[in-house]
């Protein structure tokens, strides 16, 4: 009977009924149907969607793993193996989850590289960048917590090394460490709380991802030319034009991750983690997961414990202020002839730091780590502000539409755009 | 430019993933039936390998994660599994009188540990703990190749090396000294099916068995993997063609 007063937007009466009371249908239409995407976005712009899908996959596979896992020091290792042997397709769940974590970081690193190279962190998307760094931080915490759960040798000793870092903080360090562990050493109390936190943090990440997506939709997505959307001619609707490109990205990603899950599920795992935790036997090399290794390299490059901890956390903290360290108004590195190369060198440097982070901190590796550490901070604190002042950027194209059609003279993009088109 | 970016990213991720196992190279590779994307276990080799485990390794090494019922997977009949299990006694109880009692193991029991506890295991082996073998190929770098080479790697120590008391020289062990005496030699286990029982064959069979015990899902996993990858390839191709058609209209 109330139908008279309700606006008839949709053919389906159920949708109309919902829309009148909660305009969620039109919200999704606006944000995921008609949402305007710059035409010239390349496949780097698919990694946000890939990351979201991976997060959901991790949460779903994790919930099913949690149903069969026992967070007790005496039983954790065996319960993980029991999942692999006796739970129907338990091995698949576990390999999806363990390799999914590594691939989640690969995707997010590419997503961050995209954001840095094309200047997506600049006005007006600074808050978006901050939320993103916050997600990255939460991911690192979550993956560290999850790595302790199988209670293998690396789980135990990794947890011991990382929680020991907190004891370096003056005055409150020891107390803080005991408070975090729930005991004086890593033990059952630690495993229980790490499991609880590992279960809840992904939902926190999911919430922050919601804010991250909502924030990017306010001013729209950046694009490889880094210039603003000026007219309707610059954009295509998300559905179906970008969705179909994201689907292709998902298929390519699916092939890659399946190759690892099904044919080399332990390639990215440390063999020592298939040995049950033993507090009396220290492994020869305690190595972090490779995706956290650059920060581990920074930690060990500093001879002083507190200094190392401070620089390690500083290396993450400095990311938060990147939008204010960059003094250039030009977003895309495609139009920044000097900064582009410093940026490339930064990516290579980050990789080198990760590489030496997996190796023993001695001799040449230690020197490389120290050089890498200096460039890491030098890039943010010196190069980024100064290059912005002295660099003369190339002429920006008039519009995204021009870039897409290959009209932007200065743009090196058309070659790659042709592949996409 | 985008190509350089992609190149850098590819290099970064391929190298980083392999950074963990960078100093590969010296470990000789063996031809395994379970290698490759269509690899499978040879059931006869698994059963022979189990015989080697039972007669040689099981004296000291436990396999805590296996149940006797798991042996159905490698081609033993239910009657055979029952008979194998019944060779061992397990402590059960308490019964109605509150007494603990011993009974023959059943297929639903875990493999019986050769020692009562870790301390007894150490005490009987000069202080060295014989590691559990359930997931041993996943718990050692180079996996099955390492175990195979280790079994075949016993040699007389070079003159300049002093081998410790109760230790043996093995060229593949870390530090070249191992507490386990050479477990396998030509003819040390008799095969019922007439297969040549030289040391290389015995080692290959027992390592195949250990690989199965570490990754019993290997065959199902690889089989499913081919289907999943084919699915993504076919879907990806269709969607790619559809995308080209769709974007043709965009100017």
- Could you tell me if residue B117 is left (phi over 0), alpha (psi between -120 and 50 degrees) or otherwise beta? beta
Are A11 and A142 in the same domain?
no
Q: Find out whether B172 and B117 touch, Cβ atoms under 8 Å.
A: no
Model pLDDT for residues A6-57, shown as the tens digit of each residue = 566 788 999 999 999 999 999 999 988 999 999 999 999 999 999 999 999 9
Give the per-residue pLDDT at A347: 97
Domain count, chain B: 2
Are B114 and B195 in the same domain?
yes
Q: Give the helix/strand (H/E) hosting B89.
A: strand B89-92
- The maximal CA–CA distance of chain A, rounded, in angstroms, is 81
Q: Inspect the interface and report whether the beta carbons of A358 and B19 lie closer than 8 Å.
A: yes
- How would residue A415 be classed by pLDDT, with cut points 50, 70 and 90? very low
Are B175 and B156 in the same domain?
yes
Chain B: closest CA distance from residue A410 (Å): 13
Which range is least confidently modeled, A31-35, A416-420, B217-221, B226-230?
A: A416-420
Give the per-residue pLDDT at B52: 97
Q: From CA A312, how far away is CA A44, in angstroms rounded?
A: 28
Model pLDDT for residues A344-389, shown as the tens digit of each residue = 999 999 999 999 999 998 899 999 999 999 999 999 999 999 999 9
Are A248 and A229 in the same domain?
yes
Give the per-residue pLDDT at A102: 96
| Of residues A271, A358, A376, A357, the one with CA closest to residue A314 | A376
Are B153 and B30 in the same domain?
yes
Give the per-residue pLDDT at A407: 54
Range of the domain at B227: 218-246
- Name the pairing type of β-strands B168-169 and B177-178: antiparallel
Model pLDDT for residues B100-149, shown as the tens digit of each residue = 999 999 999 999 999 999 999 999 998 899 999 999 999 999 999 999 99
Please determine, for residue B227, whether its predicted confidence score (pLDDT) is greater than 80: yes
Q: Which residues of A161-174 are buried (b: 16+ CB within 10 A; e: fewer)?
A: ebbebbbbeeeebe
CB atoms within 10 A of CB A5: 7
Range of the domain at A3: 1-33
Phi, psi dihedrals of residue B73, rounded to the nearest 5°: -65, -25
In a domain, B76, yes or no: no
Give the per-residue pLDDT at A9: 78
B108-127 residues touching A, CB cutoff 8 A = none
In a domain, B158, yes or no: yes
Please determine, for residue B17, whether its predicted confidence score (pLDDT) is greater than 60: no
Are B195 and B222 in the same domain?
no
Task: Assign residue A92 the CATH number of its domain.
Answer: 1.20.810.10
Are A121 and A5 in the same domain?
no
Are B141 and B33 in the same domain?
yes
The owner of tokens 């001619």 is A233
Give the per-residue pLDDT at A421: 38
Are A25 and A46 in the same domain?
no
Give the per-residue pLDDT at A286: 87
Model pLDDT for residues A200-238, shown as the tens digit of each residue = 999 999 999 999 999 999 999 999 999 999 999 999 999
Q: Find out whether A287 and A293 touch, Cβ atoms under 8 Å.
A: yes
Cα dihedral A77/A81/A84/A85 (nearest 10): -160
Q: Inspect the interface and report whether the beta carbons of A359 and B251 lie closer than 8 Å.
A: no
B26-45 residues touching A, CB cutoff 8 A = 37
In a domain, B227, yes or no: yes
Model pLDDT for residues B64-78, shown as the tens digit of each residue = 999 999 999 999 999
Are A2 and A142 in the same domain?
no
Model pLDDT for residues A59-105, shown as the tens digit of each residue = 999 999 999 999 999 999 999 999 999 999 999 999 999 999 999 99
Identify the sign of the CA torsion A292, A294, A295, A297: positive
Are B241 and B173 in the same domain?
no
Are B240 and B137 in the same domain?
no
Chain B: closest CA distance from residue A8 (Å): 31
In a domain, B20, yes or no: no
Give the per-residue pLDDT at B251: 77
A87-146 residues touching B, CB cutoff 8 A = 91-92, 95, 102, 106, 109-110, 113, 117
Are A196 and A75 in the same domain?
yes
Please determine, for residue B214, whether its predicted confidence score (pLDDT) is greater than 80: yes
Give the per-residue pLDDT at A6: 59
Are B46 and B159 in the same domain?
yes
Percent of chain B with pLDDT over 70: 90
Question: CB of B238 within 8 Å of any CB in chain A?
Answer: no
Give the per-residue pLDDT at B13: 59
């Amino acid at each position: 009977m109330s139908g008279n007063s309700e606006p008839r937007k949709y053919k389906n009466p159920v949708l109309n009924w919902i829309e009148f009371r909660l305009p969620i249908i039109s919200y999704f239409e606006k944000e995921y149907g008609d949402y305007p995407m710059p035409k010239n976005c390349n496949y780097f712009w698919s990694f946000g969607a890939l990351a979201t899908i991976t997060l959901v996959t991790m949460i779903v596979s994790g919930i099913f793993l949690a149903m069969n896992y026992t967070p007790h020091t005496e039983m954790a290792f065996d319960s993980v193996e029991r999942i692999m042997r006796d739970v129907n397709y338990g091995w698949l769940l576990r390999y999806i989850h363990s390799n999914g974590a590594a691939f989640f970081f690969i995707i997010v690193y590419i997503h961050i590289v995209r954001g840095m190279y094309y200047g997506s962190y600049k006005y007006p998307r600074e808050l978006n960048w901050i939320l993103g760094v916050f997600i990255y931080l939460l991911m690192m915490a979550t993956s560290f917590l999850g790595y302790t759960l199988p209670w293998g040798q690396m789980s135990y000793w990794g947890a011991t090394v990382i929680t020991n870092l907190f004891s370096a903080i003056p005055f409150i360090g020891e107390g803080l460490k005991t408070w975090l562990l729930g005991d004086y050493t890593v033990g059952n109390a630690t495993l229980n709380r790490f499991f609880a936190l590992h279960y809840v943090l992904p939902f926190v990440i999911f919430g922050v991802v919601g804010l991250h997506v909502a924030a990017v939709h306010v001013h729209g997505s950046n694009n490889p030319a880094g210039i603003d959307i000026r007219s309707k001619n610059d954009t295509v609707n998300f559905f179906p034009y970008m969705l179909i490109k994201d689907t292709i990205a998902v298929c390519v990603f699916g092939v890659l991750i399946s190759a690892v899950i099904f044919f080399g599920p332990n390639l990215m795992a440390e063999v020592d983690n298939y040995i049950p935790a033993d507090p009396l036997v220290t492994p020869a090399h305690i190595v972090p997961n490779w995706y956290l290794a650059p920060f581990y390299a920074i930690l060990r490059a500093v001879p002083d414990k507190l200094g190392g901890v401070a620089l390690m956390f500083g290396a993450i903290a400095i990311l938060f202020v990147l939008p204010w360290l960059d003094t250039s108004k030009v977003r895309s590195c495609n139009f920044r002839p000097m900064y582009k190369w410093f940026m490339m060198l930064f990516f290579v440097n980050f990789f080198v730091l990760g590489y030496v982070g997996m190796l023993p901190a001695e001799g040449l590796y230690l020197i490389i780590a120290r050089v890498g550490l200096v460039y890491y901070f030098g890039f943010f604190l010196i190069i980024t502000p100064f290059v912005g002042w002295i660099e003369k950027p190339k002429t920006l194209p008039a519009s995204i539409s021009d870039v897409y059609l290959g009209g932007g003279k200065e743009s090196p993009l058309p070659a790659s755009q042709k592949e996409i088109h | 430019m985008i190509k350089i970016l992609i190149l850098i990213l590819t290099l970064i991720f391929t190298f980083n993933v392999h950074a963990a196992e960078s100093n590969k190279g010296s470990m000789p590779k063996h031809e395994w039936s379970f290698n490759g994307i269509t690899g499978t276990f040879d059931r006869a080799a698994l059963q022979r390998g189990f015989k080697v485990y039972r007669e040689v390794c099981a004296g000291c090494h436990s396999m805590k994660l296996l149940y006797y019922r798991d042996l159905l997977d490698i081609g033993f009949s239910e009657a055979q599994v029952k008979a194998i299990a019944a060779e061992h006694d397990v402590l059960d109880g308490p019964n109605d009188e509150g007494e603990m009692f011993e009974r023959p193991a059943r297929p639903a029991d875990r493999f019986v540990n050769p020692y009562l506890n870790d301390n007894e295991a150490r005490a009987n082996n000069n202080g060295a703990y014989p590691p559990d073998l359930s997931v041993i190929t996943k718990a050692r770098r180079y996996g099955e190749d390492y175990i195979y080479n280790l079994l075949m790697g016993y040699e007389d120590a070079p003159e300049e090396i002093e081998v410790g008391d109760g230790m043996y020289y093995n060229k593949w062990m870390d530090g070249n000294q191992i507490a386990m005496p050479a477990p396998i030699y030509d003819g040390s286990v008799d095969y019922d099916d007439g297969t040549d029982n030289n040391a290389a064959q015995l080692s290959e069979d027992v390592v195949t068995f250990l690989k199965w015990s570490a990754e019993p899902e290997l065959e199902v996993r690889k089989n499913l993997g081919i289907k999943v990858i084919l699915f993504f390839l076919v879907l990806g191709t269709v969607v790619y063609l559809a995308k080209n058609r769709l974007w043709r209209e965009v100017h």
